[in-house]
Each structure stands twice: as structure tokens, then as C-alpha cells.
């Protein structure tokens, strides 16, 4: 079964908008596990506009499911001289997902150029793997970039699925085609496969059916939005059904 990792950034966004500790991000992470999620994802950014570095540290001892920390290795928190690499190595999550976020972007909007950044990624992957952390590289559905990602020593790639989500309603078969090719390329390269960005209750089941060897999806914005109407327990139940 493909694992569901719940990205809880948006919960932190709501908390930060008002100040204080409502909603409680740490309790929410524990509740997601209690309701069946097989992973928790956070994506701390340097401006800490949602998940804070302190949140990322505090969550680790509270959960028993896989912990996935996403981010740009070059990131440094504005509130303290603490880099993303330092944070991840201190926490030692099950997985770190390397995302090439430019500073100031609203959300992740592109995968790595694994040709241009080949040596840099090799060095970062090696450093994390020496700490016993599984590494995934966020990437566009381009076979050549996936082949080059394999040369970095990474364990997995995470397909950036915004293009699939944007085109799914009009033409599902056309929307999935490049992702199916990319997934087959990753499999042929011996890489594990994750996916994320704009996956939701409307498009997730088809994606999983077409790529049944998918290891994990990381879903935040759509899942939290659905929970406003359905409640978090029912929402997680429905996402898990899409992946069964």
C-alpha cells in the first residue's frame, strides 16, 4: 500500500495567523497518526511562516510513524543561526526530501535540475545518508533528470505533480502519461518513488492506480482544506481509501 504522509504546514499557518498555540500543531501531528496516517511531513522555510524550526524538533519524539522533513539544504532560519542541514541531522527523521525552493516563493514550484546541481546533490545526499537518513529528491517528471538523480546516490525521487493535477479533469490519460514514464524510469534506475503537490480526493486514486508501485504521497493543502468540511479523521480515512 502506498503510504499517506500528511503535511501539517497549513495547520501551523492558521496558528501563526493569530499567535498563541491554537490550533496545537504538535497535537495535530499526533492525531493524524491516531487517525491512520502513516507519516507526518513538515517543510520549514527560512521565514518560518508556517512550520517553525522549533516545531520540527518538537514533533519527532511525539510520533511513531515516519517523519519526513522537506526543504532546501541552503535554508537558514531567520530567527536563529540554524541551517536546514543542521536541523535535519539533529532530528534524524526517517526521510529528508530535498526541494530547490527559491527564497520568497509561495509554494514549491519546480524540481531539481539534477544535471546542473549534480555534484552539489551528491555531497548533500552523502551527508544525510551518513546520518542514517533516507533521502528523496523533488523532481519534475523528466526521465533524464531522474536518471541523473540516480547518480547522486539518492534513495528516492518525489515527482512534482502540479502538472498532473492541473490537467487531470480535462484529460486524465494525457495528464498521467509523463508521470507514468517518469515512474517507470525511476523504477528502472532502482529508485523508490514518492509524489506530491496538488494531489487531492478527486485525482489521487487514478494516480495511484496507474502507478501502483508508488511508495508514498505527501499531501497538505488539499487535505487540510477537506478537513474543514469533513473533519480530519474522515478526511484521512478517505485519502487512505484512494491509496488502497
Dihedrals phi, psi of 193, to nearest 5 degrees: -135, 125
Rounded-to-10 torsion of CA 45, 51, 53, 58: -160
Dihedrals phi, psi of 14, to nearest 5 degrees: -65, -45
What is the 3 state secondary structure string of 184-237?
A: HHHHHCCCEEEEECCCCCCCHHHHHHHCCCCCEEEECHHHHHHHHHHCHHHHHH
- 144 in active site: no
Q: How far apart are CA 182 and CA 231, in angstroms?
A: 34
- 221 in active site: no
- 197 in active site: yes
Q: How far apart are CA 188 and CA 149, in angstroms?
A: 13
The residue annotated as part of the active site, out of 66, 70, 142, 158, is 70
CB 121 within 8 A of CB 137: yes
* Grid coordinates belonging to 139: 523532481
Which residues face 3 on adjacent strands?
Answer: 216
The residue annotated as part of the active site, out of 43, 66, 158, 216, is 43
The residue annotated as part of the active site, out of 50, 158, 197, 216, is 197
Active site residues: 43, 70, 197
Amino acid at each position: 500500500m502506498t503510504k499517506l504522509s500528511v503535511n501539517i504546514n497549513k495547520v501551523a499557518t492558521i496558528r501563526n495567523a493569530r499567535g498563541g498555540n491554537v490550533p496545537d500543531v504538535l497535537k495535530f501531528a499526533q492525531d493524524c497518526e491516531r487517525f491512520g496516517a502513516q507519516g507526518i511531513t513538515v517543510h520549514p522555510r527560512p521565514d518560518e511562516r508556517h512550520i517553525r524550526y522549533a516545531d520540527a524538533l518538537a514533533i519527532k519524539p511525539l510520533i511513531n510513524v515516519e517523519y519526513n522533513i522537506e526543504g532546501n539544504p541552503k535554508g537558514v532560519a531567520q530567527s536563529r543561526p540554524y541551517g536546514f542541514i543542521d536541523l535535519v541531522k539533529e532530528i534524524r527523521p526517517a526521510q529528508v526530501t530535498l526541494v530547490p525552493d527559491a527564497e520568497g516563493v509561495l509554494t514549491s514550484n519546480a524540481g531539481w535540475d539534477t544535471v546542473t546541481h549534480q555534484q552539489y546533490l551528491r555531497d548533500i545526499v552523502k551527508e544525510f545518508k551518513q546520518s542514517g537518513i533516507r533521502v528523496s529528491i523533488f523532481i519534475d517528471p523528466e526521465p533524464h533528470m531522474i536518471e541523473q538523480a540516480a547518480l547522486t546516490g539518492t534513495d528516492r525521487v518525489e515527482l512534482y505533480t502540479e502538472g498532473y493535477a492541473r490537467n487531470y479533469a480535462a484529460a486524465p490519460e494525457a495528464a498521467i502519461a509523463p508521470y507514468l514514464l517518469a515512474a517507470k524510469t525511476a523504477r528502472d534506475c532502482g529508485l523508490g518513488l514518492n509524489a506530491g503537490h496538488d494531489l487531492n480526493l478527486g485525482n489521487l486514486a487514478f494516480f495511484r492506480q496507474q502507478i501502483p508501485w508508488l511508495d508514498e504521497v505527501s499531501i497538505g493543502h488539499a487535505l487540510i482544506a477537506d478537513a474543514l468540511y469533513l473533519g480530519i479523521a474522515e478526511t484521512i480515512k478517505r485519502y487512505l481509501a484512494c491509496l488502497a
